[in-house]
Structure 1
Amino acid sequence: MTVVGFAGMTHLGLVSAAGVASKGFRTVGYDANTQLVAELKAGQLPVFEPGLDDLVRDKGERLSFTSAVGDLGPCDVVYVAPDIPTDADGRSDVAVIHALIERIVPALNPSAVLVVLSQVEPGFTRALQAPALRQRYYQVETLVFGRAVERTTQPERYIVGCADPRAPLSPHLATVLRAFDCPVLPMRYESAELAKIAINFCLVSSVSVANTLAEVCEAIGADWSEIVPALKLDRRIGAYSYLKPGLGIAGGNLERDLATVERIAEAKGTDARVVQAWKANSRHRRDWAARTIKQVVLDAHPDATLAIWGLAYKENTHSIKNSPSLATIDQLPDIPLRLHDPMVEAGVVGRVKAQGFARELDALDGANALMILTPWPQYAKIAPGDIAARLKGKVVLDPYAVLDADAAAAAGLAYYTLGRSAQAL
């Protein structure tokens, strides 16, 4: 049986290792951080993902964790899978992955297959210096925060970058990929590295279309939610198109890919001005909540208190990377805030006038308005009537349409959301 190793036990490596172990492979998770490994062995996971605790726990002895690099020696396939940090400009710090490869390669069997799973810029894998290993690949990861377990156990396809895409894949790597019963698309290294960026570009394009036209709807009295079904029935667009408006691009991964293509375009003389337009549109829509709350509450009542539900950049994650909620808060200095998020502590806001609450409704007491800035599913279960009963004011900003608009109006709330004007509600 093929033995699989993963180097780097943060979000990407841990979820991916658990997914491979779920297919029956003996899997070794390596990280040099001894404290992290001790916590993993004790069942304390460093990341939150729905279903991940069960996925790791159910694997038993098939999934082991170690801080001893020599334990990767028996592995036939070793994935290099640390999360790659990015700076404020979206630039990746690939020194992390270089250092990890240098650490693990001497411990590997020369016949082992090295697979770069972390996202890297085009050209990285071919330029990689790992002479002790005869075979190396780049595999595109398409995990989504909040849906990572689903994405790793039920992949849509595998995209594999190869030195020669015409040659058969390594038998051990092919065995691992076949276990997931999905299409495998071999291609040259650079194509695979760019394919990941292409996927995210299509997503950014869809988000930008939705946000641009949703704002038009708000201005003319149309309703974007009525238009979306018509688009999804068009075969050129498709039923799975991401057409829900939101508060811009967030999380760091999409921003990284935009920055990567901008750098490539500048270096190679290609035209990537569309990226600048997408980024400008994202910033504009990110600021919707701050603009709207100023117009409908703060301009008339500058001493108002605001309740905010949601601090994470999206639901089902604890990540606050480029969070629209935190960006909104930054635009509201000196405003007293009453905060709730099921995974993120209120202390991340760093405000004296910001108070966190364990229960959603408790955050509403004394607040002049509510802003729902992360669409956590639990917020949708709260009746608008209960919100109206606890909220001092009547204004609710719900950009992601977590609440039922008709129920909110029936409860007497002044309800604002993306994609439709308040007058159309």
Structure 2
Amino acid sequence: MKKRSVSFFGLGHVGLTTAACLASRGFRVIGYDIDGEKVKRINNGEAPFFEPGLDELLRDSVRSGMLRATTDPMEAVLNTEVTFITVGTPSALDGSIDLRYVESASRMIGEALRHKKDWHLVVVKSTVVPLTTERVVKPLIEEASGMRCGYDFGLAMNPEFLREGSAVRDTFKPDRIVIGEFDKRSGDALEELYRDFYGEELPPIIRTTPVNAELIKYSNNAFLAMKVSFINMIANICQKLEGADVTVVAEAIGMDKRIGPLFLKAGPGWGGPCLGKDIMALKRFSESIGVTTPLIDATIKINKQQPMKLVELAEKHLGSLKGKRIAVLGLSFKPDTDDVTDSPSIRLVKTLLERGAEVIVYDPKAMENFKKLFGNSIKYAPNALSCIEGADCAVIMTEWREFRDISPQTYLKLMRTPVLIDGRRIYPPDVYSKHLRFEAIGYSPPKTK
């Protein structure tokens, strides 16, 4: 059976990664984006952002002719059978969701459908608050196209669960697929597409309503954020208890099948383009329908305060940070990405500058994106060893593999004052504390006997 042709509106992490993966398995894909420079790079086989495994997939898909990008929305819709909306959904000033790009994409798709006779499936993959698919996307497409949803075109909500740094792997091997269908024909068409894509490796499919699909995505991210904030709260308790270690506590409670080990890694807090934005959007939406969200409030509060714990540990050893040289290792919100969106490193560096510290930073992938935020207010090292050279304190903020290889002796040799703060728990405290003035999130050394 011939595989469906697919278009994507929005070629960010979700749109481009999903497009390249589909194209690699024989789907003809057209990607639309308003950014002409991005479209040019994609058509040259170059990913406009760093994502492991994407460059090769994209290059091969473009060369084979299975994927191309365009700045013409009409071309994308008229030459495909299924259109995924994968535009961004940023936050408004009050934290509520900003749907302007979803609304714009819906209108453009509707205008294109006005010129199409064949039935077409529209799939909302962007993260949107409950009721958006049926109360915003559907009427906008109907108005622009002059058609009726459920008769002339299909509609479904299909949330994504991709993680930056492993988005390609997550696309090929997801835990489940959620299809929020407007009608059975729409759900059947989308399920058929995924059956063609996954073949015998089809993951579990949950077919439900659009509003459930929308809420599943928000509930998923809110729970993950809450889990991280919870273990960070426990880490802060451990910090005050002689001999306590949050990694031991987390490992033990993670063995409980009701809890599980994932997202129980204490650190400087969660970041990235999704968790913070999504839980604030859920909070504001909930308030709009008269529901309070005390767990979300606590989750946000703990996360906001967490980077300050690292500052406190630095001051414990150095006193005033004014004039002190602080080396920050890691700027992206997680390893294997160049994304610094809402990264804990941003909050840390801002606080260090406010305290009068001289800040020097290094990250193997995210330097350029960090420069856009801080400019010449901080220094940028060409590598990790240059970053810690002459520093009074070094802080681990992202668990890049190359940082794990820096020995205690290297820190001792290169730093002016060998104070090391492990914000990501990548070093064994019993080893590093023998050589350095060492601190780690959620760790308090046992009393010397």
1:418 aligns with 2:423: no
2: distance between equivalents of 1:292 and 1:229? Answer: 24
Q: CA deviation at 1:87?
A: 4.3
Q: 1:267 to 1:86 in 2, by over 3 A?
A: closer
CA contact (8 A) 2:328 2:394 kept: yes
What are the equivalent positions in structure 2 for 1:169-318 lying under 5 Å apart?
A: 169-178=186-195, 179-180=197-198, 181-221=202-242, 222-238=244-260, 240-299=261-320, 302-318=322-338
Q: Per-residue displacement from partner, 1:69-98 (whole Å, max 9, x unpaired)?
A: 233212111101112222464333211111
The answer to whether the Cα contact below 8 Å between 1:7 and 1:80 also exists between their aligned partners in 2 is: yes
Q: Deviations over 1:361-407 (max 9, x none)?
A: 01122111101112222211222322221111111111111233333
Query: What residue in structure 1 maps to residue 158 of structure 2?
Result: 139
Q: Who is 1:103 aligned against?
A: 108
State the secondary structure of the residue aligned to 2:220.
helix
Tell me the amino acid that sits aligned with residue 444 of structure 2. Answer: S
The answer on 1:341 being equivalent to 2:341 is no
Give the 3 Å change call, closer, same or farther, for CA 308–424 of structure 1 in structure 2: farther
Deviations 1:332-380 (A, max 9, x none): 2231122111122353453645211111101122111101112222211
Change in Cα spacing, 1:375 to 1:289, as seen in structure 2 (3 Å) is same
Using the TM superposition, name which of 44-53 and 22-31 deviates more: 22-31
Which stretch shifts more, 71-80 or 120-129? 71-80
Secondary structure (helix, strand or coil) at the match of 1:331 reads helix
- CA distance 1:105–1:349, shift in 2 (3 Å): closer
Aligned residues of 2:226 and 2:295 also touching (Cα < 8 A): no
* Structure 1 residues without counterparts, runs of 5 or longer: none
Q: Which of 305-314 and 380-389 deviates more?
A: 380-389
Q: Is the 8 A contact 2:129 2:282 kept in 1?
A: no
State the partner residue of 1:330. Answer: 350
Identical aligned residues as a percent? 26
| 2:83 counterpart of 1:68 | no
Q: Could you tell me how far apart the structure 1 residues matched to 2:373 and 2:71 are? A: 34
Whole-angstrom distance in 2 between the partners of 1:30 and 1:402:
41
Following TM superposition, by how much is the alpha carbon of 1:266 offset from its aligned partner in structure 2, in angstroms? 2.1
Question: Aligned partners of 1:158 and 1:45: how far apart in 2?
Answer: 25
List runs of 5+ in structure 2 lacking aligned partners: none
CA distance in 2, matches of 1:224, 1:183: 34
| AA of the residue aligned to 2:345 | S
1:280 Cα deviation from its structure 2 partner: 1.3
Partner-residue secondary structure (3-state), 1:260? helix
Aligned residues: 420
CA distance in 1, matches of 2:214, 2:256: 30
User: Which residues of 2 match residues 41-80 of structure 1 at below 5 A?
Assistant: 41-59=43-61, 60-72=64-76, 73-80=78-85
> Deviations 1:51-76 (Å, cap 9, x if unpaired)?
11012123232122222323321211
Could you tell which deviates more after superposition, 103-112 or 413-422?
103-112
Counterparts of 2:47 and 2:447 in 1: how far apart (Å)? 46
Residue 100 of structure 1 aligns to which amino acid in structure 2?
A
User: In structure 2, how many angstroms separate the alpha carbons of the residues matched to 1:265 and 1:31?
Assistant: 32
Query: Which of the residues 4, 7, 10 maps onto 1:8?
Result: 10
Query: What letter corresponds to residue 59 of structure 2 in structure 1?
Result: R
Q: Is the 8 A contact 1:397 1:415 kept in 2?
A: yes
Counterpart code for 2:32: Y
Equivalent residues of 1:397, 1:417 under 8 A apart: yes
Quick check: 1:34–1:67 contact (8 Å CA) kept in 2? yes
Match status 1:161 vs 2:180: yes
What's 1:148 paired with? 167
Across the aligned residues of Structure 1 and Structure 2, the Cα RMSD in angstroms comes to: 2.0
Asked whether the 8 Å contact 1:310–1:340 carries over to 2, the reply is: yes
Q: Which residue of 1 aligns with 2:388?
A: 364
Is 1:82 the counterpart of 2:102? The answer is no
- The whole-number CA distance in structure 2 between the counterparts of 1:364 and 1:341 is 12
Tell me, in whole angstroms, the C-alpha distance in 2 between the residues paired with 1:87 and 1:290: 30
Amino acid at match of 2:442: G
Task: Return the offset for 1:278.
Answer: 1.4
TM-score between both structures, scaled by the size of structure 1: 0.93
Pair 1:122-2:130 in alignment? yes
Runs of 4+ in 1 over 4 A off after TM superposition: 168-171, 422-425
Q: 1:53 to 1:262 in 2, by over 3 A?
A: same
For 1:382, the equivalent position in structure 2 comes to 406
Q: CA deviation at 1:228?
A: 2.2
Q: CA deviation at 1:260?
A: 2.3
The 3-state SS of whatever aligns with 2:394 is strand
TM-score scaled by length of structure 2? 0.88
Return the letter of the residue paired with 1:269.
G
